[in-house]
Every structure is written in structure tokens, then in C-alpha cells.
Structure 1
Amino acid sequence: MPGSASRRTVLAAALAAAAGTAAAGTAPASASAPGGTEEGAGLPAPGTVANRFWSTYPDWRAGDAEGTRAVAGRRPGLVLDAPLGRTDYTDPHTGRTAAWEYARWTSPAHTPSVPATEVIASWNAHTPAGTWLQVELSGTYGDGTGTPWFVMGRWASGDSDIKRTSVDDQTDGRSTVWTDTLAVDDPASGLRLTSYRLRLTLYRRPGTSLTPTVWRLGAMASDVPDRFTVPASAPGPARELAVPRYSQNTHVGQYPEYDNGGEAWCSPTSSQMIVEYWGRTPSAADLAWVNPDFADPQVCHAARHTYDHQYSGCGNWPFNAAYAASYPDLNAVVTRLRSLTDLETLVRAGIPVITSQSFRKEELTGAGYGTSGHLMTVIGFTPDGDVIANDPASPTNEAVRRVYRRREWENIWLRTKRYDANGRVRSGTGGVCYVYWPVEPGPAQRLVLRSAGLL
């Protein structure tokens, strides 16, 4: 089954039950390299999505620093300066307890333009061996009451110090964290999160001068209306980007400790395609652990370094963004887009996008499978407006490039409700995607990213 979506199924059932819903439970365009033109740069700001990312020196200075320090430069960031003290952390996945020095940074309260039913945090950081970080989120409801601090991720780029993990069983009875998403339990009640703060805790081995460096921290707040279908959009100009092609299925059976091997590696495989599109790649030393008999060892590497040990999968959205941003001078976020037109605008500027969708086999002509959750990389659009996707759920690398019918693809990506093969109501992602881009994008790319609320 493509993808790895167990907690998406749980979330679907929970939201459907709360809302009272019956629920149980290919002619190519011309290829081009990274870059962009001014064409179509006026991307409209999404009306149901609001992004806020802290990434500038003034941003880091504006937060409440407790032992952290803002650093200026070409890529401003936040580092551990003077630790507040020590704490013990028992890793739930190894049982090992270790002492760590720590410091904290808390963002100012942010009021998004969209009172939210869901909030997803994401971050970009470097965590050398001997360091890690934790991201938390606290929100305020429209009635003035607040949430506790919810853990949105405990993360390190490697896995020798701690096991990268989400945290289950977090709820205040009104909202719940589902792996990487804080969701209001009963959106039909009208309850919304009207503001939030993010808290970042940096950890290092005691007695050292090691530090994580965080370049970007933020969240996407959204209130996408329930819908089984979305209006059709008009096609824009054709373009196709030259994105590397990797199949997850060629890795079936490899490293089953990472979500049963390649059959569930759609997310890291897609991430690796775009990392390499932007000219980054793991070093030979990075790949030394991979069996030399395996082709495309960088896909195995991506799976290992996106794996969430609590979720038991490689499909944690922010962990994939953080993996991509661990490469030199790459930014990466998790967000939602409002329409296929918005996605076309990014692609036309030279920015491929990883999208999340679920569908029955008969809903996407030519896919040849159905899935409860799958990631693929949108690399272009045909002259007729159909979607050109690098679909990792393909038998070979050569077969990865697919052309999908625009109307079908648009609907399965943007809807929030769908029927499964048994006729039961399940959730859709409502336009969730990963966007990765270089720290210094071209002028047209910068304009498009800013219009999308990502800069």
C-alpha cells in the first residue's frame, strides 16, 4: 500500500465522529532546470490558510529567550548560549536515561488571520551529534481559554542520541495532537484556535559547547471547510521541471525496521527527489551504512532520517521538511495551498511541490492502486492542464513520471472528506503539501513564495 497513514485514519474517524458523520472507524512539456520567470507571480493569499514563520534576526530577537541567543548573518538563527540547567530524558524507544543541558525560546503570541481548526508546526535546524530539540505549541481558543503546551516533535537529524519521535495521547478534551497535527476535536461546534505560541527547547550533552542551530520555526493554521468535491480550476501555461525520479517500490524489503521497507516510503522518496532537484545529496560517508548492493542508497538514507519511532513510519510531515532542510541552504515547510492554481504558480516559478492525498483506485485514472495516504511530487502541467507527477508508487525509476487527469487529481488532493472502498466517510488532506526551496531563491521565486505566505 503506498504511503503510511495509520494516524490519518484515526484522525479521520475521530473528526467524522465528532461532526456526527457516519464513519466507522502522457506528452511531456519542455523540461527546465531550477529557476523562474515573472510569469504568474501574483499568487493570491489563501483565505483558509495562514502561515507564520520566524526566521529573521529580528524574529529571533523578538521572542522570549531563556539561555538562547539569536545569531545574525546570511542565515540568521537561534543557538544555545547559557543553559538554564540540566534535565534527565528517558528515551521511550530505547529505555535509556541521559542528562542534558537545555535552554528555551518562546515565540510571541501570534494571531493568525484564520481562526484555526488545525495547526501544523515545522522547523529547519542543524543538530550535530550530541544535540537535539523539542518543539511545543500552546494555543488560545476563541472563548479565551488556553491549551497546555503540546509537544509537536522531539527531533534530531541523526538517531544516535535520541530516537526521533512524536508524542501520543496529548489532549485537553477539546483538541488533540495526531502525530504532527493539532486538531480541534469538534469543528462543527464552532470552537477555533485564535492564537498560538511556539516553544523551542534546545538540548546538548552536559559540559560541552555543542548547540543546535535553528533557522526557521513556524506553523500553518487552517480552517478548510468540509467538502467532498472542489470547484474545477482553469489550466495555466504548461511547464515541466527536471526532477530526479525515484521509486519507493524498488526498495521493498530493504530495512524493514523503517516502516516495513520501501513499500511505505512515499514521503522520504518524494523528499529525496526534491532535495536532489535543488542540487543537494548525501555524502559517501552519509551513505556508508547502506548495503552496497542496494540501488539508490540515498532513498534508504532519507527513510532512516525521517522515521518517527512513535508513529512507526516515515510519513511524519514536519520530520520530512526538517530532513530536507538539514541539507545546506535549503528551506522547507509544511503548509496547505488553496487551489491547484496556486500549485501551478509555484511550479511555473521552478518550485516543485510534494502533495498528500488519498483515493480509491477508480478515482485516479492510471494510478493502478488506491491508498489511505500517499505522497507524490508535482513537477509540471501539460498544455491541457493535466498534472505531471513523479509518483514513487511505481515499479521502476523510469516509470515514476505519470500524467494524471487534472480534474481527478485536483479533487483528491483538495477535498477534506471522501468515501473509502466500503462507503464509509474518511478524511482528505485539504491541500497539505511540503514546499522546499533554496535560502536564496530567484526574484520570481521569492515573489511567489512571499505571496503564498512562506517568506
Structure 2
Amino acid sequence: MSSTAPPTRRDIAYRGFHLPADSATGVVDERGRWTSPPVPVGFAVAEVVPSWTADTPDGCWIEVELRGWHGDAPATEWYLLARWAADDLTVRRTSIPGQRDGDAAVDTDTLVVTGAMVTGWQARVTLCRPAGSPTGPVLRSIGAVATGPALPGPPGAPEPTSSAARGRVLDVPRYSQRLHAGQYPQWGGGGDSWCSPTCTSMVLAYWGLGPTAEHCSWVRPPGPRPVVVHAARHCYDHAYAGAGNWPFNTAYAGLHGVDAFVTRLRSLAEAEAFVAAGIPLIVSAAFRADEVPGLAYDTKGHLMVLVGFTADGDPVLNDPYAPDDDEVRRTVHRQAFEAVWQRGSGGVAYVLRPASVPLPPPPAQANW
């Protein structure tokens, strides 16, 4: 069972922009740029995580930057969060380590505020193409989730649970990451390190989407599941040296016909709204062996698919760390799992769904 900790509350706000194709190309002399308006969030910001969807033809890429904002002026410099391309043949998809000053720092996929007063954010995306290329990248969406510091005190009025989620388990296919142990060391080596792309592949398959057999034809031998290898390669962050970069996974999913973004949820009650709407979530947690009964391993950060809830409200997971597909489905204790999810990642969730499937109504402080 999770250890007892003082209650905390946390402010969370998400804002996204969907761009018409003709407003987001604008490439002149091999580079173009789109800058969002400042987004005030109404609280002191501790972290900002961006996410985006884009198309990058051969040789093209995008660069995603964030800066903090306060009042009527920027509160920090710009920080480069990603140099991203759909493929890896000409551009190494990468986060940018080593960015730190007295105001903020970049931790792989997260802008961490360290000294500045930040109450909002602004994004800037540079669209890049090779000299002479007849086509350029297209930015389709970008957003960010801003999170306040964890503060002592009760979390506030309990969120209403969704009776439509209780007893509902979505039919998400079950994939084990460990079937790929030792595969493709240049993209993390499968096994222990492919939880995030395995989850992304499961949810894409739930929607009937994902790479085709032709797109996976380079996977030789094909092994247990070529689509997972395809996802691991195309989510891989060369600086982080892993496939677990959160927005790289949602950007990959966006290539396959879904609206995809990273956010943070305050509780499993908020997650129930998604399951009630038929939308599984990919959630990130950190825990010690047996801290959540049934999860008998240690992890500093692990991705699982939240596929439903029992009639009593316990979460039902597709856990890719299972030794084989048959053991992927697991039911865990609600309070214990909620505690390690909130403590480990602040409630991080990937939301992947076709645009035709509506999101549930957001809470007053909108985090989706």
C-alpha cells in the first residue's frame, strides 16, 4: 500500500491551438516561424510541458521553444524544447540538454521554472526545410500544460466520479514490451525501455490506426510486433537516449490520424470522464515494488494504459511490463495507484483520440 503523505493541491491548466494548414507553413528561405499569443494561467507556474502534431516531409523538421510570461511581458528567455521530425533519416530527433539559467531549466521534455515569477507561457515553432525543397513542414497543433507547485493542504472539493466509467473496460489490445528485449539497441534495446511506445501502439490499435505493414517492412526479422518497433524508432530521443519523451510519443501518434496531446490530471475521478467517453489514457507513474499491490517491480517512471474501472472504482490497466501479452491486463488498488501516479509524474496523461470522438467537458480550471 502507498505510504501516507501530507495532502497536497496543485493548479493545472492546458491550452492548445489547432492551426489551419495555410496559416502554419509560411516557410521563406528555408525557415518560417509561428508564435502563439501569451497564455496566462492565473497561478504561479512550476513546470510547462509542450506537445504538438505536425507533418515533416523528407529532410524537414520543426523546432519547438517555450518561454515563461508574467503580466504584460516575457519572464524568461526562449528555451528550445525539441528538434523534431517524423522520420530519422536526415534529422536526429532530439531534446536539447544543458539549458539552464537563473530563471528556468530544461529537463528533457519539461520547462522547469527555477527562479523567475511565471504566470503564463508562450510557444514558438520554427519550421525548417532543406535548401531548394519544394515542400515544407506543416504545424497542425501545439499546446502546453502548465502546472503549479505542489502545495500543502487539501486538494479541494472531491471531483464527481463518473458512474458511466464504473464497470467499463475499453477493449484496448494487450502488448508486452518485454517480448522485445534486446532488440534494436540503437533505439533503446526494447525490453525495459519501450513502455511508452508500446502504450502508444496499443492505443493507436484501439482506434484502428497505426503504421501499415508496408511502413514496418524494414523491421527484420519482424519479431513479435513490428508496430511497436516502428513506434520505438520514431519516438526515440537521441539526446535522452530513450523512447519515453512524452511529447515525442504524442507527436508520433498524431502522424496516424489522431488528435494527441500531453496533459496532467488531478485525480482518477478526472480520468473516469475519459473512460466514460470511450477514450483510454496513457499514464505515467513511479513506484517501488509492491507499493501498488500487483505491481511487483521498481520503476523511476513507467507508462501504462488506463483502460477502465471496476464496478468499485479500481483502475484497470494494460501494463506493458508484463512478461507476455496474456498478463498485460491488471487491476490495481485505486488509492495506491492514484498516489504513485500523482507523486511520480504529477498526473501525466497522453490523450489520443480521433477528432470525431469528443473530449469530455473540462473542469473549471481546464486541463484539457
When the two structures are superposed, what TM-score results if normalisation uses the length of structure 1? 0.74
Alpha-carbon separation, structure 2, partners of 1:327 and 1:144: 37
Structure whose CA Rg is larger: 1
Name the stretch that deviates more: 136-145 or 335-344.
Answer: 136-145
Given residue 129 of structure 1, which amino acid in structure 2 is its aligned partner? D
Cα displacement (A) at 1:196 = 2.0
Structure 1 residues 51 and 302, CA gap change in structure 2 (3 angstroms):
same
Alpha-carbon separation, structure 1, partners of 2:44 and 2:221: 50
Pairwise mapping of residues 300-449 of structure 1 onto structure 2 (< 5 A)? 300-328=229-257, 330-415=258-343, 428-441=344-357, 445-448=358-361
Pairwise mapping of residues 166-245 of structure 1 onto structure 2 (< 5 A)? 166-185=95-114, 191-226=116-151, 236=163, 237-245=166-174
Alpha-carbon separation, structure 1, partners of 2:318 and 2:12: 26
SS at match of 1:80: coil
Alpha-carbon separation, structure 1, partners of 2:334 and 2:85: 38
Structure 1 residues 192 and 344, CA gap change in structure 2 (3 angstroms):
farther
RMSD: 2.4
Structure 1 residues 145 and 123, CA gap change in structure 2 (3 angstroms):
closer
User: 1:131-156: CA deviations, max 9, x gaps?
Assistant: 11001112135796631110010000
**Preserved CA contact (<8 Å) 1:147 1:172:** no
Alpha-carbon separation, structure 1, partners of 2:97 and 2:18: 28
User: 1:341-360: CA deviations, max 9, x gaps?
Assistant: 00011111100001111001
1:161 aligned residue (79, 90, 95): 90
Please state if 1:105 is matched with 2:6. Answer: no
Structure 1 residues 451 and 439, CA gap change in structure 2 (3 angstroms):
farther
Alpha-carbon separation, structure 2, partners of 1:169 and 1:293: 37
Given residue 324 of structure 2, which amino acid in structure 1 is its aligned partner? T
Structure 1 residues 253 and 451, CA gap change in structure 2 (3 angstroms):
farther
Unaligned runs of 5+ in 1: 1-45, 58-69, 72-76, 86-100, 416-427
Alpha-carbon separation, structure 2, partners of 1:300 and 1:369: 24
User: 1:383-426: CA deviations, max 9, x gaps?
Assistant: 111110000000001110001111111111112xxxxxxxxxxx
Alpha-carbon separation, structure 1, partners of 2:170 and 2:10: 28
**Preserved CA contact (<8 Å) 1:332 1:436:** yes
Unaligned runs of 5+ in 2: 1-8
Structure 1 residues 143 and 170, CA gap change in structure 2 (3 angstroms):
farther
2:202 aligned residue (255, 273, 278): 273
Structure 1 residues 54 and 401, CA gap change in structure 2 (3 angstroms):
same
**Correspondence for 1:3:** none
Alpha-carbon separation, structure 1, partners of 2:34 and 2:17: 12
Alpha-carbon separation, structure 2, partners of 1:227 and 1:413: 18
**Correspondence for 2:5:** none
Alpha-carbon separation, structure 2, partners of 1:47 and 1:172: 25
**Correspondence for 1:78:** 24
Pairwise mapping of residues 60-71 of structure 1 onto structure 2 (< 5 A)? 71=22
**Preserved CA contact (<8 Å) 1:48 1:114:** yes
SS at match of 1:412: helix
**Preserved CA contact (<8 Å) 2:64 2:124:** yes
SS at match of 1:130: coil
Alpha-carbon separation, structure 2, partners of 1:112 and 1:234: 23
Give the % identical residues.
43
Cα displacement (A) at 1:273 = 0.5
Alpha-carbon separation, structure 2, partners of 1:398 and 1:199: 44
**Correspondence for 2:55:** 126
Alpha-carbon separation, structure 2, partners of 1:228 and 1:306: 38
Structure 1 residues 48 and 366, CA gap change in structure 2 (3 angstroms):
same
Cα displacement (A) at 1:185 = 2.3
Cα displacement (A) at 1:207 = 1.4
Cα displacement (A) at 1:172 = 2.1
User: 1:302-339: CA deviations, max 9, x gaps?
Assistant: 100000000001110000010100112x1111110111
Cα displacement (A) at 1:228 = 12
Cα displacement (A) at 1:430 = 1.2
Cα displacement (A) at 1:111 = 1.1
Given residue 252 of structure 1, which amino acid in structure 2 is its aligned partner? A
Alpha-carbon separation, structure 2, partners of 1:363 and 1:177: 30
Structure 1 residues 437 and 120, CA gap change in structure 2 (3 angstroms):
same
Alpha-carbon separation, structure 2, partners of 1:296 and 1:368: 25
When the two structures are superposed, what TM-score results if normalisation uses the length of structure 2? 0.90
